[in-house]
A and B are shown apart, each in its own frame.
Chain A
Amino acid sequence: MPSLTYIRINHWVNALSRVINMELIKNKIKVIAFGMVAEKMQTAELQLEGIPSTDVLRGYLYQQYPGLEGIKFGIAINKKLTSGNQIIPHEAEIALLPPFSGG
């Protein structure tokens, strides 16, 4: 039989890990948009939750902002430009970076 103290500790550990897990699942991220992407989204900053990867993010953005369809942009995670599908870490700062051509 486990002792009462063990049960109590175990209870709190489980409760704590549930909270941590929930936070992880939520995966809050900050998205900042540049140039034509910000223009099409009509905002330069977003807070999003539950976006695990850059592919999911692209899908979400195209769905929420149909104006972005056909607009080329790169995605940076924590100020690092990525290529291909990448996992978005918790509380990441994401930047949506279209090319500029003007001079």
Chain B
Amino acid sequence: MRPKLPCSPHFQEDDMNRFARQIILPGFGQEAQTKLEQAKVLVIGAGGLGSPALLYLAAAGIGTIGIMDGDTVAKSNLNRQVIYGDAQVGINKAEAAAHYLKSKYQDIKIECIPEFITTANAAANIAPYDLIIDGSDNFPTRYLVNDICILLGKPLVFAAIYQNEGQIALFNTKEGDINYRDLFPEPPKDSEIPNCSETGVIGVLPGIMGTLQAAEAIKFLTGYGEVLVGKMLYYNLLNHQTYTLNLDKHPSSEGMLPKNLSAFESRDYALFCDEREVISWKKALELMQKNTSSLLIDVRELNEQPKLQSHAHLKIPFTGQNKVIPEMQEADDIYLFCQSGIRSLRMARLLSQTLTGKKIYSIIGGIESPDAPLN
């Protein structure tokens, strides 16, 4: 057994500080800690990536942490969204995460924004922060966040996962820096995107990637160590292989960016597809009221939340197969929705092949759209 060493009064004082173990790191010190205390970081999406990022940012003493998410905690989130437990199922994620972090620490400020990010609310919500963490889970949001960060000059810690692989980079630390559009100037078409409930994940992977996001944020804010500027790090959970990609400006990236805030605000990020196939909730509900021979269909799995209560609809989970039922044949117009508008668009395209002469629409943004008639 090691003898107990007497502590100096100085050490005891340091030990009272919850940041003592990072302050004593050579090259970090009180100076870096002060930078963290003064920093304001916004985490967009408090899910698989956002949960671990939030836990470590708060533990490190980031002075102000914003949490933006309009989603509610679902039981199936709990394998990876470790900031929540059974008791939070059904609660808004930003509120649940904010509540938890506030209960853990009294010396930092937690700001809760229980909304999905949109072109209308992005600028106002991002402007007050020094650094943005993208913890979202879909391409429209990723492009939206990338573009607004460039317009407002905000550094962006990007990370994303696909099954057992993750990627992370730090974009837009200064003007002319690499951004997400230098990798892929245009968003993939909907047919190139695996749908949200199709892909599985072991919770540890977003845990690792989200933790790396917190690390990049802390290093960037304090100038400690090297950050992933102009580089993208890939990590594979199955074999622990990493791959560091060197990035370069893409000749088409500049032209794809909105030129100013009003161009950004009028851009439809949810819309990658043919306008004849998609419709907004507002327009769909309006048309359904006019034409009683229209049909509203939820194409999500039966257990997916939240449920639509306000309007009569059928539930036909999307299987990838073209499944026509008599009700569809009788209807003039068919409106399909899912969680975010991807599966419903695929189903609309399939149905259009057999149900000719009918108007078949996929509702933009699905049930997660801020316009969805949930209340």
Contacts and interface: CB of A to CB of B under 8 A. Distances in A.
Interface string A44-85: 000000000000000000000000001110101001110110
Interface in B164-190: 165-167, 182-184, 188-189
A103 B184 contact: no
Contacts, number: 86
Interface string B229-264: 000001000000001111110111000000000000
Given A79-B243, A80-B246, A95-B245, A103 B183 contact: no
A2 interface: no
Most buried by B among A76, A79, A84, A99: A99
B258 to A, nearest CB: 19
B234 A103 contact: no
B251 A100 contact: no
A77 to B, nearest CB: 10
Nearest to A83: B250
A95 B246 CA distance: 12
Nearest to A35: B162
B191 interface: yes
Given A81-B248, A102-B199, A72 B183 contact: no
A74 B246 CA distance: 12
Given A80-B248, A81-B246, A101-B138, A70 B161 contact: no
B47 interface: yes
A34 B35 CA distance: 37
Interface string B148-168: 000000000001111101110
Given A70-B191, A72-B184, A72-B188, A103 B135 contact: yes
A100 B184 contact: no
A97 B245 contact: yes
A72 B137 CA distance: 18
Interface of A: 32, 34-36, 39, 70-72, 74, 76, 79-81, 83-84, 95, 97-103
Given A80-B246, A103-B48, 12 more contacts: A34-B243, A39-B163, A74-B184, A80-B245, A80-B248, A81-B246, A81-B247, A97-B183, A97-B234, A100-B160, A101-B139, A103-B161
Interface of B: 45, 47-50, 134-139, 142, 159-163, 165-167, 182-184, 188-189, 191-194, 199, 201, 206, 234, 243-248, 250-252
